[in-house]
């Protein structure tokens, strides 16, 4: 199954890594630099899964998830948080904002693919 | 070039470039913080920079970098969350950590050995500062994905192929020793609102072992009473898997609180919550899932598409999440207002371009300039009227060429900021080394200069900054005694002035101790004891080869490198360096540089039958020699008197080996060359052709190491003309002549 | 490649220098161009003629006759410059005239005599006979000095 993915991360390296992990397996990957940019890119897009970082300038991951969940079109779109942090507190915050899952960086490309396929159902 | 095809190598290279940018942002942030800024975004920027570096480093397995960045990040997080307010000492440590981080990045990039002791030292200091890192941070693990946990490698491919098997739950556990669990899972409506799918969770569960899943439809109301957003379904699962309960609960960790969940091990009633309904087993919709192989399916299209299967069928009623009712969600706070404001000042859109491509463009434009010169030469030779269409067109062509050239040069231009940031580190380190309290003030960081110029400025500037801290500024006690603030100030500024870049390094120290300088120069035999020198002459002695003001060689600037090396470096960039100093007020070095190394304003001259280009910036004036002007010092060595000053005379034709020395130089044309230190020389040439901008063509070092030749250019007629390096010619001709000139 | 049936190991560009016949592996020849005036480089070895403009780059030109210590001849419009590529670095070789391109097999090549009294033989990698004429195959790496130090 080819998935349509929106990945939001302020680190170019991370974006590159995500691209490298997903494009070769046939996914379509849309990239954004931060939460605000993510919302811009999301406009008109119907991603199967959204991946987002937490720590980002302008609009962080929590704000982004929150804003995505505000949109009727994306209320049920799975959102995976991809971040280096894994504290229970942050996870809870992400979940409360409406995140679907949590992946800790650095990620194994194959596992990211699997995880995406799973949450995409 | 082999790297170019390896995407990981490419990303790795790109990561290190990103690191540089992040370090720059970080330095900026730290500097702003240090200045007392308390905008929370400032510390956020610093934090994020370290965070991103850590993230990327983790991806490439750069352990040392991750470890250090992690601890540093934690410290910054404390600042961010107001758990810790950094004082001056803490800021110094933060700066040191930033410096070290930048070192680690470089070491990792170059695959050099990691200097571990410095990391340990700084980490210890961070621990002391922040009360220890006793709470051992969570390990950054490579395969942590929640809520999937270990079950990610479920082979969905197999789902469709395997016939559902019925099995008796009660028999299963005793038969083999594999534990059997009864799980009841009832999602609440909120769980669907976070994009969670029961299907996914159940599949993960099934991946743990043999699972029998039954959807409980008892709560499902008749269709007319069904509310789209309400969750009516629950599932009962029997799982036979060699896992402990925690592993099962882990799968649901992320929906903890968003569902009713009970897990009970068959044969033990110990932790069966009262709410758990008795588990009914039924053969309908049962799925028996095999132990998942750990391999990734090769074809990404296959897995989920090929998994229609019982699980999916059983889950079909979970549709409510896909049919949201719009009005219900409006209570959530809207973010867009803030968003729109911030979007306006978002990052400038930037394109990253391989430097090679730019070089190619620069070369092509160089060709264009040469071509245009050739074209105009032939048109002139054709004797066209200056008002003819062709000549008018040519004029326009020239203007366009010049514009294109300027634009291309702009591409190579970079702000000096990164260079200045490196200098702030030099100040921190060198001031700590000599126990002085020094602040670096930078002005004009946005001034843009050719990338190559910036790169080649780093070394001379480093030396000058060290020099200013080391020798320029007085000790703290001396400053106090002189009624100055204890903190010495070194100012680094950049500005564009009449087509050149002016970079100044100044200190508010005691100024040059001219008596001492003269003493040293005399002792070292650089000037005769009876020489009468102006203040400026004495100041310029600092640039004399082998001169060093430090009576004891200091650790910092006394590495056998003197200001003469700085001067040579600046001159090789087509630049000039001057020095001014005022007793008690300080010393200032001014560097004037061309904006680019690609073109040069030159004087085109004839020597013998050759055409040469002399950089215009060293030419003071042209003279015609009279009989009384030239004096022979000794055979073959002449000096010329220019307005009462004796200047060594060099015959370029002889120096370059083009011809024999002439018998008489009366009537010869001479270029008076001057250097910032006041040293002068006169070069005999045969004629002056023109003054114009020429495109610099580098000469392959290995082939031509011709003394006195800096580079080459291509003239309008397609011939190559050599660009002179007069300083080199003079140095070749006589090493001592400049000092002779000084003392004359 | 000319004739696939023939066991051709290499093709040689043959040319004349001071009335002797030399050759270079065609693979190392970038182009051949007519003589243009060179700009002399100061203090360079005498066999370095100077530099010319090769489509915007500075090409050093070596006088092959002088490099091989052969008698020098007047340079005229008839001389040509062979632009040779050695490991990405281009060098111009000034020769009298280019003769031919010949295909030879590696077995046709003979090593030059061991104790060669002629200094220029050290840059000759092999000898071969073509139509009864002796052709010297040049070792480009030995002809072109690696560094200026070596050249001096």
Check whether residue B97 and residue B229 sit in a common domain. no
Which chains, if any, share at least 3 CB pairs under 8 A with chain B? Answer: A, C
What residues pair up with B490 in beta bridges, in sequence order?
B440, B507
Higher pLDDT, B409 or C64: C64
Write the CATH number for B536. 3.30.565.10
Query: Mutate which of B252, B300, B313 to test chain A, going by most A C-beta atoms within 10 A?
Result: B300
What residues pair up with B495 in beta bridges, in sequence order?
B502
Interchain proximity C58–B697, CB inside 8 Å: yes
Q: How far is CA A6 from CA A3, A9, A10, B79, B386, in A?
A: 10, 10, 13, 32, 62
Interchain proximity B56–A14, CB inside 8 Å: yes
Check whether residue B379 and residue B242 sit in a common domain. no
pLDDT of the residue at B676:
55
Counting residues of chain C whose pLDDT is more than 70, the rounded percentage is: 85
Tokens linked to C17: 């220098």
Q: Assess whether pLDDT exceeds 70 at residue B127.
A: yes
Closest partner CB to B712 (pick from C51, C89, C146): C51
Higher pLDDT, B213 or A76: A76
B469 inside domain: yes
Counting residues of chain B whose pLDDT is more than 70, the rounded percentage is: 75
Write the CATH number for C115. 2.40.50.180
- Residue-wise pLDDT for B663-720, tens only, equals 788 888 999 887 655 678 899 999 998 887 787 877 765 555 677 888 888 887 778 8
Query: Lowest-confidence range among B102-111, B184-193, B601-610?
Result: B184-193
Write the CATH number for B625. 2.40.50.180
pLDDT of the residue at B589:
93
Name the residue range of residue C146's domain.
Answer: 10-151
pLDDT of the residue at B197:
72
Interchain proximity C41–B702, CB inside 8 Å: no
- C-alpha span between B149 and B151 (Å, rounded): 6
Q: How far is CA B544 from CA B525, B549, B565, B597, B742, in A?
A: 11, 11, 9, 26, 11
Check whether residue B449 and residue B488 sit in a common domain. yes
In this prediction, residues B393-398 reach a mean pLDDT of: 84
Closest partner CB to B721 (pick from C39, C43, C55): C39
C84 inside domain: yes
Check whether residue B125 and residue B249 sit in a common domain. no
B640 inside domain: yes
Task: Tell which B residues from 220 to 279 touch A, by Cβ distance under 8 Å.
Answer: 254-255, 258
How does residue B324 score in pLDDT terms, banded at 50, 70 and 90? very low
Q: How far is CA B194 from CA B40, B198, B206, in A?
A: 29, 12, 22
Residue of A nearest to B306 (CA): A1
Check whether residue B181 and residue B201 sit in a common domain. yes
C150 Cβ under 8 Å from any chain B Cβ: no
Q: Assess whether pLDDT exceeds 80 at residue A76.
A: yes
- DSSP strand pairing (B180-187 vs B234-240): antiparallel
- Residue-wise pLDDT for B471-529, tens only, equals 889 988 899 998 999 899 999 999 887 667 889 999 999 888 888 888 888 888 888 88
- Residue-wise pLDDT for C132-141, tens only, equals 888 999 999 8
Residue of C nearest to B362 (CA): C56
- C-alpha span between B443 and B420 (Å, rounded): 9
Mean of all residue pLDDT scores within chain B: 74
Check whether residue B515 and residue B662 sit in a common domain. no
Interchain proximity B145–A115, CB inside 8 Å: yes
In this prediction, residues C111-129 reach a mean pLDDT of: 73
Interchain proximity A16–B322, CB inside 8 Å: no
Residue of A nearest to B41 (CA): A57
Residue of A nearest to B298 (CA): A25
Torsion sign, CA atoms B148, B151, B153, B156: negative
DSSP code, position B697: B
For chain A, the first-to-last Cα distance in angstroms comes to 10
Q: Assess whether pLDDT exceeds 50 at residue B186.
A: yes
Query: Mutate which of B24, B59, B342 to test chain A, going by most A C-beta atoms within 10 A?
Result: B59
Counting residues of chain B whose pLDDT is more than 90, the rounded percentage is: 7
- Residue-wise pLDDT for A9-19, tens only, equals 988 888 888 88
C2 inside domain: no
How does residue B613 score in pLDDT terms, banded at 50, 70 and 90? very high
Tokens linked to A25: 């397996």
Structurally, chain B folds into a number of domains equal to 5
- C-alpha span between B350 and B18 (Å, rounded): 13
C4 inside domain: no
Comparing C-alpha atoms, which of A68, B331, B423, B93 is closest to residue A81? A68
Q: Which runs of consecutive H residues, i.e. helices, occur in B81-168?
A: 88-109, 116-130
Interchain proximity B712–C58, CB inside 8 Å: yes
- DSSP strand pairing (C80-86 vs C29-34): antiparallel
CA distance A45 to chain B (A): 17
pLDDT of the residue at B607:
92
What residues pair up with B602 in beta bridges, in sequence order?
B615, B692
- Residue-wise pLDDT for B590-609, tens only, equals 998 877 676 777 899 999 88
Check whether residue B389 and residue B537 sit in a common domain. no
pLDDT of the residue at B20:
87
pLDDT of the residue at B525:
80
Name the residue range of residue B512's domain.
Answer: 416-594
- Residue-wise pLDDT for B344-380, tens only, equals 444 456 677 777 788 778 778 877 877 777 787 788 7
Query: SS in 3 state form for B513-532?
Result: CHHHHHHHHHHCCCCCCCCC
Ranges of each domain in chain A: 1-33+41-84
Check whether residue B45 and residue B126 sit in a common domain. yes
- Residue-wise pLDDT for B40-50, tens only, equals 888 888 988 99
pLDDT of the residue at B1:
44
Q: How far is CA C44 from CA B613, B699, B710, C48, in A?
A: 19, 13, 15, 6
Chain B / chain C CB contacts < 8 angstroms: 66
pLDDT of the residue at C83:
95
Chain B residues touching C42 at Cβ < 8 A: 655-658, 706-709, 722
Interchain proximity C39–B697, CB inside 8 Å: no
Check whether residue B49 and residue B21 sit in a common domain. yes
Tokens linked to A8: 């939001």
pLDDT of the residue at B298:
42
DSSP code, position B585: T
How does residue B574 score in pLDDT terms, banded at 50, 70 and 90? confident
Task: Tell which B residues from 108 to 147 touch A, by Cβ distance under 8 Å.
Answer: 138, 140-147
Query: Lowest-confidence range among B151-165, B245-259, B561-575, C12-26?
Result: B151-165
Q: What is the CATH number of domain A1-33+41-84?
A: 3.40.50.2300
- DSSP strand pairing (A101-104 vs A79-83): parallel
Q: Give the contacts of A10 (CB within 8 A, at least 6 positions apart).
A: A33, A34, A53, A55, A56, A57, B48, B52
Interchain proximity B138–A79, CB inside 8 Å: no
C106 inside domain: yes
CA distance A53 to chain B (A): 10
C5 inside domain: no
Touch A-B: 3+ C-beta pairs under 8 A: yes
Check whether residue B544 and residue B628 sit in a common domain. no
Indicate the SS3 state at residue C81: strand
What are the backbone dihedrals phi and psi of residue B182, each rounded to the nearest 5 degrees, phi first?
A: -110, 125
B348 inside domain: no
How does residue B151 score in pLDDT terms, banded at 50, 70 and 90? very low
Residue B383 has a CB neighbour count (10 Å cut-off) of 6
Check whether residue B569 and residue B648 sit in a common domain. no
C76 inside domain: yes
pLDDT of the residue at B716:
74
Query: Mutate which of B703, B718, B729, B731 to test chain C, going by most C C-beta atoms within 10 A?
Result: B703
pLDDT of the residue at A52:
93
pLDDT of the residue at B401:
82
Higher pLDDT, C105 or B743: C105
Closest partner CB to B363 (pick from C56, C146, C148): C56
Q: Assess whether pLDDT exceeds 70 at residue B286.
A: no
In this prediction, residues B256-262 reach a mean pLDDT of: 77
pLDDT of the residue at B635:
75
Q: Which residue has 């669990």 as its token pair?
A: B181
Write the CATH number for B52. 1.20.120.160
- C-alpha span between B116 and B485 (Å, rounded): 38
B71 inside domain: yes
C1 inside domain: no
Check whether residue B611 and residue B731 sit in a common domain. yes
- C-alpha span between B216 and B236 (Å, rounded): 7
Interchain proximity B7–A77, CB inside 8 Å: no
Q: Which long-range contacts link B494-500 to residues 24+ away (Cβ below 8 Å)?
A: B494/B416, B494/B420, B494/B443, B494/B444, B494/B445, B494/B447, B494/B449, B495/B443, B495/B444, B495/B447, B496/B447, B496/B595, B497/B592, B499/B595, B500/B592, B500/B593, B500/B594, B500/B595
Q: Which of B365, B397, B413 is the last residue of a domain?
A: B413
Tokens linked to B329: 């969600």
pLDDT of the residue at C106:
84
- DSSP strand pairing (B234-240 vs C89-95): unpaired
Structurally, chain C folds into a number of domains equal to 1
- Residue-wise pLDDT for C27-79, tens only, equals 999 999 988 889 998 888 888 899 998 877 789 999 999 988 888 777 787 89
Interchain proximity B714–C148, CB inside 8 Å: no
C87 Cβ under 8 Å from any chain B Cβ: no
Q: Give the contacts of C96 (CB within 8 A, at least 6 positions apart).
A: C15, C16, C17, C18, C19, C65, C73, C78, C79, C80
Higher pLDDT, B316 or A84: A84
Chain B residues touching C36 at Cβ < 8 A: 718
How does residue C117 score in pLDDT terms, banded at 50, 70 and 90? low
DSSP code, position B553: -
Comparing C-alpha atoms, which of A49, A57, A70, A34 is closest to residue B336? A70
Higher pLDDT, B557 or B190: B190
């Amino acid at each position: 199954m080819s998935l349509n993915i929106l990945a939001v991360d302020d680190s170019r390296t991370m974006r590159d890594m995500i691209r490298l992990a997903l494009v070769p397996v046939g996914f379509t990957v849309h990239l954004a630099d931060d939460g605000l940019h993510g919302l811009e890119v999301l406009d008109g897009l119907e991603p199967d899964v959204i991946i987002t970082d937490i720590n980002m300038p302008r609009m962080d991951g929590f704000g982004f998830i929150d804003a995505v969940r505000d949109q009727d079109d994306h209320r049920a779109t799975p959102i995976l948080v991809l971040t280096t942090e894994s504290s229970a507190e942050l996870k809870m915050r992400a979940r409360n904002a409406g995140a679907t899952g949590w992946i800790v960086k650095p990620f194994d490309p194959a596992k990211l693919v699997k995880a995406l396929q799973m949450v995409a159902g | 070039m082999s790297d170019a095809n390896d995407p990981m190598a490419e990303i790795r290279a790109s990561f290190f470039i990103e690191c540089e940018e992040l370090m720059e942002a970080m330095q900026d942030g730290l500097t702003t913080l240090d200045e007392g800024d308390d905008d929370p975004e400032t510390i956020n920027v610093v934090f994020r920079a370290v965070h991103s570096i850590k993230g990327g480093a983790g991806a490439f397995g750069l352990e040392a970098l991750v470890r250090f960045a992690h601890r540093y990040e934690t410290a910054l997080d404390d600042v961010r969350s107001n758990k810790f307010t950094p004082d001056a000492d803490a800021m110094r440590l933060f700066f040191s950590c930033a410096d070290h981080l930048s070192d680690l990045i470089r070491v990792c990039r170059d695959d050099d050995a990691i200097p571990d002791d410095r990391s340990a030292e700084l980490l210890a200091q961070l621990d002391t500062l922040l009360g220890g890192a006793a709470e051992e941070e969570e390990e950054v693990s490579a395969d942590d994905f929640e809520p999937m946990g270990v079950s990610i490698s479920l082979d969905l491919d197999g789902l469709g192929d395997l016939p559902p098997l019925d099995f008796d739950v009660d028999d299963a556990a005793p038969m083999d020793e594999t534990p059997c669990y009864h799980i009841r899972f009832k999602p609440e409506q909120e769980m669907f609102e976070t994009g969670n799918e029961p299907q996914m969770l159940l599949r993960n569960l099934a991946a743990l072992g043999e699972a029998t899943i039954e959807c409980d439809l008892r709560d499902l109301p008749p269709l007319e009473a069904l509310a789209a957003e309400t969750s009516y379904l629950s599932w009962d699962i029997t799982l036979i898997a060699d896992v402990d309960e925690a592993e099962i609960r882990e799968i649901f960790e992320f929906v903890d609180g968003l569902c009713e969940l009970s897990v009970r091990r068959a044969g033990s009633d110990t932790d069966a919550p009262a709410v758990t309904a008795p588990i009914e087993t039924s053969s309908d919709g049962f799925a028996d899932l095999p132990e998942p192989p750990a391999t990734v399916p090769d074809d990404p299209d296959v897995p989920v598409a090929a998994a229609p299967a019982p699980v999916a069928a059983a889950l079909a009623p979970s549709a409510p999440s896909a049919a949201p009712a719009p009005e219900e969600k409006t209570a959530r706070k809207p973010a867009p207002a803030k968003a729109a404001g911030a979007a306006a000042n978002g990052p400038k859109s930037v394109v990253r371009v391989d430097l090679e491509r730019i070089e190619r463009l620069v070369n092509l434009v160089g060709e264009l300039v040469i071509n245009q010169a050739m074209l105009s030469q032939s048109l002139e030779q054709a004797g066209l009227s200056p008002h003819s269409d062709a000549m008018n067109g040519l004029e326009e062509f020239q203007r366009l060429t010049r514009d294109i050239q300027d634009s291309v040069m702009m591409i190579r231009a970079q702000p000096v900021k990164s260079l200045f940031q490196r200098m702030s580190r030099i100040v921190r380190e060198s001031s700590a080394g000599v126990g002085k309290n020094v602040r670096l003030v930078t002005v004009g960081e946005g001034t843009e200069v050719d990338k190559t110029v910036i790169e080649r400025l780093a070394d001379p500037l480093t030396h000058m900054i060290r020099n200013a801290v080391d020798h320029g500024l007085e000790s703290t006690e001396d400053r106090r005694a002189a009624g100055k603030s204890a903190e010495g100030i070194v100012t680094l500024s950049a500005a564009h002035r009449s087509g050149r870049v002016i970079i100044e390094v100044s200190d508010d120290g005691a100024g040059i101790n001219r008596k001492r300088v003269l003493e040293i120069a005399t002792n070292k035999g650089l000037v005769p004891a009876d020489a009468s020198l102006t203040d400026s002459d004495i100041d310029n002695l600092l640039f004399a080869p082998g001169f060093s003001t430090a009576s004891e060689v200091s650790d910092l600037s006394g590495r056998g490198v003197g200001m003469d090396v700085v001067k040579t470096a600046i001159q090789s960039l087509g630049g000039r360096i001057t020095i001014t100093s005022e007793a008690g007020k300080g010393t200032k070095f001014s560097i004037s540089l061309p904006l680019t190394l690609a073109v040069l304003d030159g004087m085109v001259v004839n020597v013998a039958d050759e055409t040469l280009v002399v950089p215009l910036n060293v030419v003071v004036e042209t003279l015609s020699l009279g009989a009384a002007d030239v004096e022979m010092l000794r055979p073959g060595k002449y000096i010329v008197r220019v307005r009462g000053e004796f200047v060594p005379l060099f015959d370029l034709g002889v120096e370059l080996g083009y011809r024999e020395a002439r018998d008489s130089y009366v009537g010869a044309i001479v270029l008076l060359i001057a250097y910032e230190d006041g040293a002068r020389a006169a070069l005999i040439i045969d004629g002056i052709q023109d003054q114009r901008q020429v495109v610099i063509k580098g000469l392959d070092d290995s082939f031509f190491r011709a003394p006195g030749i800096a580079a080459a250019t291509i003239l309008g007629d397609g011939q190559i003309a050599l660009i002179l390096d007069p300083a080199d010619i003079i140095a070749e001709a006589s090493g001592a002549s400049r000092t002779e000139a000084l003392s004359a | 490649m000319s004739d696939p049936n023939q066991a051709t190991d290499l093709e040689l560009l043959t040319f004349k220098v001071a009335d002797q016949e030399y050759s270079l592996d065609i693979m190392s020849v970038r182009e051949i161009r007519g003589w243009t005036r060179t700009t002399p480089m100061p203090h360079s070895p005498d066999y370095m003629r100077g530099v010319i403009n090769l489509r915007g780059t500075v090409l050093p030109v070596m006088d092959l006759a002088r490099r091989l210590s052969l008698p020098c001849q007047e340079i005229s419009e008839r001389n040509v410059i062979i632009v040779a590529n050695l490991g990405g670095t281009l060098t111009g070789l000034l020769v009298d005239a280019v003769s031919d391109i010949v295909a030879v097999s590696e077995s046709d090549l003979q090593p030059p005599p061991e104790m060669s009294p002629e200094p220029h033989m050290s840059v000759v990698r092999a000898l071969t006979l073509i139509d009864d004429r002796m052709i010297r195959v040049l070792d480009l790496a030995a002809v072109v000095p690696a560094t200026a130090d070596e050249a001096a």
